[in-house]
Amino acid sequence: MEPNLLCFILFTLFGFVLTSFDEHHYNGTRHYNYCVLGAGPAGLQMGFFLSKARRDYIILERNSGPGSFFNKYPRHRKLISINKIHTGRCNREFNLRHDWNSLLSDKPDLLFRRLSSEFYPPADAFPLYLSMFVRELGLKVQYGVDIGRIRSVQSATGRNYVLTDQHAADYTCSSHCEYIEEFLLQALPQFSSLSGHEVSSQGLIVVVMQYGKKKIDYLGRSRAETDWTRAWKSNFLHPVLYYYDSLPTEQDMKMHPRGWPLPRPKAIHHMVEDFLTEWDGPLSHIQPLRRFLEHCVQTDLRAFTAETCFHSALTHHKPPLFCQQGYLNQQGVQHYSQLRRRVYKAGPVPVEQVTAGMSTAANPAFPNYLAPPGASVSSGLKLDL
């Protein structure tokens, strides 16, 4: 075969492949379980956790690179988020508390300090850091996609969401989660009409940054509380989580307790925070927050393997439900969605049943919020949360 004829055939086939790809890009429908809009720091952080959980996801960004907001803002071109690279401590969680720009990942060196050592770094460095974050973690980001319409459709498997871009290409996503930031508290009863978002049947969690009872922040010995059971007394600005099973009404807002920013919730959680906080503390942070969220969604948020179920069976009077229904019943560790339905249907276990048969000689200083010795939770057992 003539060389020129061979080249002509190859170029023709290559052009056909590109044409087919473009037609699929503009006219086809892409299917994903999760669609994340925007490749800013929040979108990329969500992408990391979805990637870590091996979920089917895509991050859609209208511009040509991540963090495009910071290419224009702030106009004075300096970030006010601190970048303290020398803290005098080796604890990674403590150091991240003084690094307000780095995102979370499994790579301990994937930090903003690689691009700048300034305490108030230049804004131009942040998009570069986000690009490095995408590249080194291999996140799935598609640039140049400007979503102009989102609609929900019912299917045989449930509700799906169809996102349409500027080229009339559709992206179908089967999972849905909403996070609304900086909503006016006084307008909470009109949340749905003002934001266009409906409240889930499982309710909503409102996160408010609050001071303690004195409502001011000041320097001194009693500024913060290191004991999580006294976090509500802290005068250090800290997150407070309010859980409501339904949207508060106008009347509820008028009847809120004196000094409270919101009506009395179904559940409330104060998080300990100060500049000495180590966020990986199992008793001070992880377990209390997990218990609060479990109460809100009425399910066990821990994940168990055969090894941890075996360990739990040897060290606990009553192993967790995940292990009871699967591993200890010689059926393996059941799929999470199956156990979620069972736990939600069964509802929370009454306190009387949990504490029945426990020793009454327990240390009275042991927080009531935590399970007493012999219950189904062990702070010495390392679990995936």
- Supply the CATH number for residue 154's domain: 3.50.50.60
The number of domains in the chain is 3
Domain stop point among 292, 319, 344: 292
pLDDT digits (tens, 9 = 90+) for 24-52: 344 467 999 999 999 999 999 999 999 99
Residues 288 and 305 grouped into a single domain:
no
Confidence of residue 378 (pLDDT cuts 50, 70, 90): very low
Asked if residue 234 has pLDDT above 80, the reply is no
Please answer whether residues 344 and 298 qualify as being in contact, where contact means their C-beta atoms are separated by less than 8 angstroms: yes
Please tell me which residue, 303 or 310, carries the higher pLDDT value. 310
pLDDT band at 385, cuts 50/70/90? Answer: very low
Same domain, 67 and 126: yes
**Per-residue pLDDT at 222:** 62
DSSP state of 68: G
| Neighbour tally for 8: CB within 10 Å | 11
- 111 and 68, same structural domain? yes
One domain, residues 101 and 164: yes
How confident is the model at residue 277, as a pLDDT? 62
Region 330-335: mean pLDDT is 50
Q: What percent of the chain has pLDDT over 90?
A: 38
Q: Which residue has the higher pLDDT, 44 or 320?
A: 44
What is the residue range of 222's domain?
A: 199-292
Which pLDDT does position 302 carry in this prediction? 72
pTM: 0.62
With a cut of 90, say whether residue 83 has pLDDT above it: yes
Predicted pLDDT of residue 22: 41
Residues 275, 310: one domain?
no
- Average pLDDT score, the chain: 76
Asked if pLDDT for residue 121 goes beyond 70, the answer is yes
| pLDDT for residue 67 is more than 80 | yes
* Dist CA 57 CA 35 (whole Å): 6
- Under the banding of pLDDT at 50, 70 and 90, the label for residue 152 is confident
pLDDT for 306 equals 73
Tell me the pLDDT tens digit for each residue of 241-278. Answer: 999 999 999 999 999 888 888 999 999 998 877 666 66
Rg (CA), the chain: 25
- 329 within a domain of the structure (yes/no): yes
Q: Do residues 65 and 120 share a domain? A: yes
Cα of first residue to Cα of last residue in the chain, in angstroms, is 63
105 within a domain of the structure (yes/no): yes
Distance of alpha carbon 118 from alpha carbon 129, whole angstroms: 14
Rounded CA separation 8/249 (Å):
71
Mean of pLDDT values over 176-196:
82
Q: What's phi and psi for 29, nearest 5 deg?
A: -115, 125
Claim to verify: residue 288 and residue 313 sit in the same structural domain: no
pLDDT tens for residues 198-222? Answer: 888 888 999 998 876 666 555 556 6
285 with 349, same domain?
Answer: no
Q: State the helix-helix crossing angle for 125-137 and 41-52, rounded to 10 degrees.
A: 10
* Least confidently predicted of 99-113, 230-244, 321-335, 350-364: 350-364
Q: Are residues 76 and 164 in the same domain?
A: yes
> What is the per-residue pLDDT for 360?
35
| In a shared domain, residues 106 and 140 | yes
Q: Are residues 68 and 147 in the same domain?
A: yes
Q: How far is 371 from 350, CA to CA, in rounded Å?
A: 13
What confidence category does residue 363 fall into, taking pLDDT thresholds of 50, 70 and 90?
very low
Residue 120: per-residue pLDDT:
96
- CA–CA dist 123, 133 (Å, integer): 16
Do residues 37 and 122 share a domain? Answer: yes
**Predicted confidence band at 14 (pLDDT cuts at 50, 70, 90)?**
very low
